[in-house]
Amino acid sequence: MDNVRLGILGVGNMGSMHAEYLMKREVKGATLAAICDENPARLEWVKSRFGDQVKLFDSADAMFASGEIDAVLIATPHYNHPVSAAKAFAQGLHVLVEKPAGVYTKQVREMNEAAKQSGKVFGIMYNQRTSPLYQKLRDLVTSGELGQIRRTNWIITSWYRSQSYYDSGGWRATWAGEGGGVLLNQDPHQLDLWQWTIDMMPERVRAFCSFGKYRNIEVEDDVTAYVEYANGATGLFVTTTGEAPGTNRYEITGDRGKIVIEDGKLTFWRLRVPEPEFNATWKGGFGQPENWKCEIPVKGEETGHKGITQDFVNAVLKGTPLLAPGEEGIKGLTLSNAMHLSAWTDNWVNLPIDEDLYYAKLQERIAQSTMKKDTQGRTLSVEGTH
């Protein structure tokens, strides 16, 4: 095979963006061969935009079985991701799924097993992994340059969303349609990077979530979570969609210094002597280890969605390892599920979480939902977003 015939399932906000760059042949070795959406208006948009260059389907099963595609990019609402992926694998297709991997880990675990059994390439659209900043951070941490991790702290409050955004889709900001709010829609990138950059998941989580604090929605729009790691380190994660201007600051402290990512820069305050060694030898009372402020040079550009799609196509054609393997989607989702469950039970949650309890609590919220919205909604431009 020297070309991957890609199909897109769902052409809403994200799917239409993927369609645009694929039709422009901006991903080498890939052709946009088919598009599927159950909304006739969206198929009309495709027809008006691309004419007869793409096969159109109103049924995912029909597109998967058509023989027109080798792989599918799934860009439907969250609940649908694992279901559609499993069906695609069963048809012998490679799968690239939009974030998040799903809504609850039990369903995603089943998707991961289907991927394993299929032997096909499985990727997830964690486009922030293409950022040279976070790649360099991961390199510094995993190479031991920062020493043993002691604390992580991420304030990500720059995900501002207005009421009109939430009103744009019938599935948005509802337990039945989306399965969560800022943790499921905006923060899957940061939750993934939080564990990926330090190569470590916490042991337990205590979270406080506000539901509909700033907007007329039923899901969370403000979260503060505290985590503890096996090595004794602690972490804090703060996020909201109702704050302006917002902050995006990620700080990691180790026993050899501190690294901060903010405003597109990576700064390393490197200790000349590791803190434990200084503490054991310093006899002067007041004092602290000498540190050097280093602006770490970061080369390259973030390739984003196109970069992940190119990486996926390369894996299909050449067998190269994926930057964002689909099976790893369960890690960030585990963190968001744990935060929800902690808030719902007003208690600590140990990892791995009780998946059956989480599912039961989610179903309670779906049953109690009173949100009534336009089921068709409207498609928004995602230019400039992640």
Query: What CATH number did the domain enclosing 255 receive?
Result: 3.30.360.10
Q: What is the pLDDT of residue 378?
A: 53
Q: What is the pLDDT of residue 383?
A: 57
- Kindly report the average pLDDT of the chain as a whole number: 95
Confidence grade of residue 172 (pLDDT, cut at 50, 70, 90): confident
Is 379 domain-assigned? Answer: no
- Per DSSP bridges, beta strands 94-97 and 122-124 are parallel
Q: What is the pLDDT of residues 300-334, one digit of tens each?
A: 999 999 999 999 999 999 999 999 999 999 999 99
Domain check: are 364 and 236 in the same one?
A: yes
Judged against a pLDDT cut of 70, whether residue 131 lies above it is answered with yes
| Residues paired with residue 271 on neighbouring β-strands, in sequence order | 291
The domain in which residue 33 lies consists of: 4-128+304-326
Determine the distance from the C-alpha atom of residue 94 to the mean position of all C-alpha atoms in its chain, rounded to a whole number: 20
Confidence grade of residue 257 (pLDDT, cut at 50, 70, 90): very high
Tokens read off for 341? 């469950």
Domain check: are 282 and 138 in the same one?
A: yes
Among residues 48, 82, 60, which one has the least CA distance to residue 10?
Answer: 60
Is 140 domain-assigned? Answer: yes
Amino acid at 83: V
Q: How many residues does the chain have?
A: 386
Question: Rounded mean pLDDT of 150-159?
Answer: 98
Domain check: are 319 and 256 in the same one?
A: no
Neighbours of 264 (CB within 10 A): 10
Q: What is the pLDDT of residue 375?
A: 45
Among residues 358, 360, 363, which one has the least CA distance to residue 105?
Answer: 358
Is 375 domain-assigned? Answer: no
In which residue are the tokens 């992640």 written? 386
Is 382 domain-assigned? Answer: no
Neighbours of 214 (CB within 10 A): 16
Q: What is the pLDDT of residues 43-102, one digit of tens each?
A: 999 999 999 999 999 999 999 999 999 999 999 999 999 999 999 999 999 999 999 999
Amino acid at 98: E
Is 380 domain-assigned? Answer: no
**Number of folded domains in the chain?**
2
Kindly give, in sequence order, each residue whose CB lies less than 8 Å from that of residue 354, ignoring residues fewer than 6 positions away. Answer: 341
Q: How far apart are CA 229 and CA 239, in angstroms?
A: 20
Tokens read off for 212? 């509909």
Q: What is the pLDDT of residues 266-299, one digit of tens each?
A: 999 999 999 999 999 999 999 999 999 999 999 9
Domain check: are 91 and 189 in the same one?
A: no
CATH number at residue 8: 3.40.50.720
